[in-house]
């Protein structure tokens, strides 16, 4: 699960400093995101709640949908799948044996992230803002 935490570093998630227009979260602009809550779950055990720092997630990351990349302080992860619906932007990829999904609410910038392998899952919550 620690390796998954490192992947979380590359996928840092979102804390909005000020509201932005709805169109800002549709993938057309670069986003700065930061995690604010983290959960570490394994089969048969209660999920542990903590801060993103507890699991090694970064304070901030960038999402560049145009370049299909999630950019963290230690590595860049390619976005392999992107879907834009009426209310959310959904991004997915794989790295280091893990699958990840980022869902961003297009009207608020709030974000949920999952990082999963066969041993467990990290779930992070936060929000994004436009730099």
Summarised one tens digit per residue, pLDDT across range 56-97 is 888 899 999 999 999 999 989 999 999 998 899 999 999 888
What DSSP character marks residue 47?
A: P
Fold of 2-129: Lipocalin (2.40.128)
CA distance 82 to 89: 7
pTM exceeds 0.85 for this model: no
Q: Which two tokens stand for residue 106?
A: 């297009």
Q: What CA–CA distances, in Å, run from 127 to 1, 17, 45, 70, 74?
A: 23, 9, 28, 15, 20
Query: CB of 66 within 8 A of CB of 29?
Result: no
């Amino acid at each position: 699960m620690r390796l998954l935490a490192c992947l979380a570093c590359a996928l840092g998630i979102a804390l909005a400093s000020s509201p932005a227009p709805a169109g800002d979260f549709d993938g057309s602009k670069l986003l700065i995101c930061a995690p604010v809550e983290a959960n570490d779950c394994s089969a048969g055990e209660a999920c542990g709640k903590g801060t993103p720092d507890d699991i090694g997630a970064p304070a901030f990351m960038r999402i560049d949908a145009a370049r299909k990349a999630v950019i963290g302080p230690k590595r860049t992860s390619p976005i392999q799948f992107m879907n834009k619906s009426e209310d959310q932007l959904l991004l997915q990829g794989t790295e280091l044996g893990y699958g990840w999904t980022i869902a961003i609410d297009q009207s608020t910038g709030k974000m949920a992230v999952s990082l999963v392998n066969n041993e467990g899952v990290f779930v992070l919550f936060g929000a994004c803002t436009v730099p």
